[in-house]
Amino acid sequence: DKGQHQHFMAKEIHEQPMVVARAFGAWTSNDRSRIASPAETIDWRSVPRLTIVACGTAHLAGHVAKIWLERIARLPVEIEIASEFRYREPPLPTGGVTLVISQSGETADTLGALRYARAAGQTTLGLVNVTTSTIAREADLALATHAGPEIGVASTKAFTAQLMGLAAFSVMVARERGAIDADGERDAIETLSRVPRLMAETIAQEDRFAALAREIATATSALFLGRGLMYPIALEGALKLKEITYIHAEGYAAGEIKHGPIALVDEATPVIALLPSGDLLEKSLSNIREVAARKGRVAVIGDAEARAELGDEAWRSVAMPRCDPLIQPFAYAVAIQLLAYHAAVARGTDVDQPRNLAKSVTVE
């Protein structure tokens, strides 16, 4: 049932504050002092490396998690696309852990990757939304995302619920490795508790995203740029846009565009810049200024600081709430979802059932 919404995707975007609140509750103790996880039983101090494997949007959630785990837990992490990983058959470290991420828990390549990692002696974790799925059964430990059933083919709430599970997981691993103390854990939990409201504040900007989306909807090509935690969100923005609008879109690390992609910049190509404030803002601004100087149509999605810096160098800009860097991916994920959704509505595509795509990819 779509409720008052025109599409399941819209309903699922709007459900996200509730979904992430539920996921947050599932991962935290009642007094909010401690992350609880079945993966606590692993001796994380002796784990040399975590390998994360997934496909599509789930892979991009894993990419965000890599950055969190490296930063908070100081754990070495590799992130892999399942279809490459499983056939490359890479050597895996003794005592290593492999985490596969899958909404459906049935994606053939991700399942193949899980089986390869198990056979190679890794401890395996499966973060799944469908808890009765094959991946949930075959992983040594199954972790649930708690998103509820996702109907829209383009993943939205499953992605942000994966992010909540992965953020909690990162904090737990940091604690187990001694990278944070009890106060640090409590602070991180307090920050994560603000995610539902942060996402609701972003959804409250929907009209602004819809207005920008209508302008992007006439483009034949679009670029998404971001650094650090915004790099995987830029990739997800491009994936979401191409998936449901059929506009050609690419995501790039902002610092990489001068190595080639800047040749694509012209007056017809929207360049969506994800610019939260933080350590990387100055670096990103200089990349974005290079685009603006070449008459690129820069659409800034950022908080007050970035928007003030760019002024009229930006073609369009949409305000984002300011928040702790740890939780920026949740807010910017909502932003790119709303952008893709409204661009698809403007183009009149079949939002919930995009051409050539299936909800669960059980072929290799």
Using the contact rule CB under 6 A, the part of the chain among 34-42, 56-64, 180-188, 303-311 near ligand F6R is: 56-64
Structural element, H or E, at residue 268 = none
CB of 215: closest distance to ligand F6R in angstroms? 23
Based on CB atoms, which residue is closest to ligand F6R, 155 or 160? 155
Q: Which of 102, 245, 277, 328 binds ligand F6R (CB under 6 A)?
A: 102
Q: Which of 51, 98, 155, 202 binds ligand F6R (CB under 6 A)?
A: 155
CB of 361: closest distance to ligand F6R in angstroms? 5
Q: Is 251 in the site for ligand F6R (CB under 6 A)?
A: no
Asked if 101 and 86 touch (Cβ cutoff 8 Å), the reply is no
What does the alpha-carbon distance between residue 222 and residue 243 come to, in Å, rounded to a whole number?
13
Contacts (CB under 6 A) with ligand F6R, residues 164-183: none
CB of 360: closest distance to ligand F6R in angstroms? 6
66 counts as catalytic: no
Using the contact rule CB under 6 A, the part of the chain among 97-105, 220-228, 284-292, 317-325 near ligand F6R is: 97-105
Q: Is 361 in the site for ligand F6R (CB under 6 A)?
A: yes
Q: Is 154 in the site for ligand F6R (CB under 6 A)?
A: yes
What residues contact residue 340 under an 8 Å CB cut-off, 6+ apart?
154, 213, 237, 240, 241, 243, 244, 245
Contacts (CB under 6 A) with ligand F6R, residues 225-244: 239, 243
Asked if 327 and 195 touch (Cβ cutoff 8 Å), the reply is yes
What does the alpha-carbon distance between residue 182 and residue 192 come to, in Å, rounded to a whole number?
15
What does the alpha-carbon distance between residue 41 and residue 236 come to, in Å, rounded to a whole number?
32
What does the alpha-carbon distance between residue 117 and residue 29 come to, in Å, rounded to a whole number?
31
CB of 36: closest distance to ligand F6R in angstroms? 24
Tell me the helices (H) and strands (E) count for the chain, helix number first.
14, 10
CB of 109: closest distance to ligand F6R in angstroms? 8
Q: Which of 55, 274, 301, 323 binds ligand F6R (CB under 6 A)?
A: 55
Using the contact rule CB under 6 A, the part of the chain among 73-81, 102-110, 226-234, 291-299 near ligand F6R is: 102-110
Contacts (CB under 6 A) with ligand F6R, residues 288-327: none
Contacts (CB under 6 A) with ligand F6R, residues 106-125: 107, 110
β-partners of residue 298 are: 271
Distances (CA, A) of 12 to 25, 79, 254: 19, 27, 29
Q: Which of 10, 52, 58, 233 binds ligand F6R (CB under 6 A)?
A: 58
What does the alpha-carbon distance between residue 254 and residue 284 come to, in Å, rounded to a whole number?
6
Based on CB atoms, which residue is closest to ligand F6R, 156 or 328? 156
CB of 15: closest distance to ligand F6R in angstroms? 16
Quickly tell me which residue has 């830029």 as its tokens: 234
Torsion from C-alpha of 75, 80, 85, 91, nearest 10 degrees: -20
CB of 127: closest distance to ligand F6R in angstroms? 9
Sheet bearing 270-275, strands edge to edge: 248-253, 221-226, 270-275, 297-302, 316-319
Asked if 226 and 213 touch (Cβ cutoff 8 Å), the reply is no
Residue nearest to ligand F6R (CB): 56
Q: Please give the positions annotated as active site.
A: 359
Write out the residues near ligand F6R by the rule CB under 6 A: 55-58, 102-104, 107, 110, 154-155, 239, 243, 360-361
